[in-house]
Structure formats: structure tokens, C-alpha cells
Amino acid sequence: MLSTGALRAHLLAARLAGPVATSREESLRSYRLFAARDPRVLLGLDPEWTWEQRDLIELMADKCGVSADPAHTSGHDVIDPERTLVALDSFAARLGTAARRREPVLLGTGHPHRLLGFYAALADALSSAGCTVLTPAQGSSVDITTRFGLRTYNLDYVQGVALVREPGMQAPGGATGAHTHSPLPVRTVLAAAAEGGGPLPELVIGDHGWVCGAGQLGFEAMGLADTDDPALFVGEAEGRVSVVVPLDDAVRSDYYRPLTRYVLNRACLSQ
């Protein structure tokens, strides 16, 4: 079993925590846009409270460990590894509860190139524990506004994890997909599940719009977020997201494997 100390060392060595690749400039820009309620950074969340940039800096300092000084405007952001470890323990505890209760679950990612392996391992472990891993709306089209204009994507599932890909890019089931922050995929999936009369998820696991979009609709959701994704942490503060793990969400995919082992061990789901 991977010890807490060993995982802390890995978080720092892989730059999942500590000084991360996300810049202070990127994060401050996201906080400004969130304060202006720009849908690109709301990720499907409709905040109940008023969030000014200063409020978001204070929230992210508390949740992630970034600098609380508004005058700090450049350089790399910093994530406190202790906050990551505490959140991973909460994440694992909720995962373990889902497994014991055999809850239907939905997993989806907007970072398939980086995080697909992490979520796929969770999906496999939950399925082995008797949970139904939901896959509604496979093959459905979703129109998402991007900086290049309106683009059509197709919903697909890889090893139980939902993602979107551009039509014709790869056959269904392939391991690559598109990077997206949009909540439209999870809305499409949840609507299809409801219309089909099948089970609805009791827990949604993922990132970006998968978490915020589900939480906004009243589904319990948890996931991973970087310092430039304040929406998930706002959702947690307002009670619509249950757990958010602060970490760099765009490092090499194999760097997340120790986190997978740690979480599954803590959840008593190691195979």
C-alpha cells in the first residue's frame, strides 16, 4: 500500500502539487472571468452567491493553497500537497461508500488524454464491487461552442468513462478524445438516462463540466480540479459539489497511477 508520505513525495516530484505548471496569470484570468459570470469558466454552475475576484482568491487559497495576496500576479501557482491528500481521503471515502451501497455511478472527463486511465480504474473497481457504471447516450451528438465556433462532437465511452470526440477522428471505443470544459455532455447523458427510464447516477465522478453540470442539476458529484478551475471549488463551497481534489490536471497520464492506487486502497477497492 502506498503510504501518505510516499504519495506526498510523488505529488511534489510529479508537480501534481507544490509549484505547478498552471501560471498565476492563468488563474487570475479565470477568477476575473468567473466574477463576470463568463460561461466559459462557470462550467455549468449557476452560483448562488456573489463572487468577486478577491473572494475567489481567498477561496482558492483556502481550498488549494495558492497565494492569498491579490498583488501576487505572476509566476507559477502553488498547490498545498496536504490539501490534496486530505481531499483524496475524502474522495476515497465517498468512493468506498458508493461501492458498499452498490450505487449506480457515472464517470466522465474533459481531459481524456491525461485522466482517462485514472477514471477507468475507478470504473473497473466500482463495477467489480457491484455498482452499475452507466453509459447512456453513447453515440449522441453534442454541439459545443469553442473558440473556433460551434463544433459537433460525439459522446463515447471508453472503459466505462464518458468523453467526447470529433466525428471521424477515431472509431468508437478508442482511447483519445477532445478536451472540453462544457457541461453539455453531462446534461445530454443525464437527460438520456431519465428519458430511457433507466437508473440515474447516485454519484457522478469527473472534472470540468461533468462535475459542475451534474452538481447544478442536483446530482452528487465529485472530482479533480486545477487552480484555474474555480467553478468546482465554488460548487463545493455552495454545497453542490461534494469533494474537489486540488491538483494539476494536465501532467503525464502515468503520473496519476500512484493516486489511483492510493484512492483504491483507501476505499478498500484494491484488486
Whether 269 contacts 129, CB under 8 Å:
yes
The pLDDT score that the predictor gives to residue 127 is: 98
The pLDDT score that the predictor gives to residue 1 is: 76
Rounded CA gap, 37 and 2, in Å?
41
Q: What is the pLDDT along the chain (271 residues), one digit of tens a residue?
A: 789 999 999 999 999 999 999 999 999 999 999 999 999 999 999 999 999 999 999 999 999 999 999 999 999 999 999 999 999 999 999 999 999 999 999 999 999 999 999 999 999 999 999 999 999 999 999 999 887 789 999 999 999 999 999 887 665 555 579 999 999 999 999 999 999 998 999 999 999 999 999 999 999 999 999 999 999 999 999 999 999 999 999 999 999 999 999 999 999 998 6
The pLDDT score that the predictor gives to residue 87 is: 98
Q: Which residue's entry shows cell 465517498?
A: 94
DSSP string, the chain: ---HHHHHHHHHHTTSSEEEEEEHHHHHHHHHHHHTT-HHHHTT---SS---HHHHHHHHHHHT-----TT--SSEEEE-HHHHHHHHHHHHHHHHHHHHHT--EEEE-S-HHHHHHHHHHHHHHHHHTT--B--TTTT-EEEEEETTEEEEEEEEEETTEEEEE-TTSS-TT-S-------SHHHHHHHHHHHHTT-PPPSEEEEEHHHHHHHHHTT--EEEEE-TT-HHHHHHHHTTS-SEEEES-TTS-GGGGHHHHHHHHHHTT---
The pLDDT score that the predictor gives to residue 270 is: 81
Whether 33 contacts 41, CB under 8 Å:
yes
The pLDDT score that the predictor gives to residue 175 is: 59
In terms of phi and psi (left: phi > 0; alpha: psi -120 to 50; beta: otherwise), the region of 87 is: alpha
The pLDDT score that the predictor gives to residue 167 is: 81
Rounded CA gap, 178 and 263, in Å?
26
> pTM for the whole thing?
0.95
Amino acid identity, position 75: G
The pLDDT score that the predictor gives to residue 48 is: 97
Beta bridge partners of residue 76, listed in sequence order: 23
Whether 34 contacts 207, CB under 8 Å:
no
The pLDDT score that the predictor gives to residue 162 is: 98
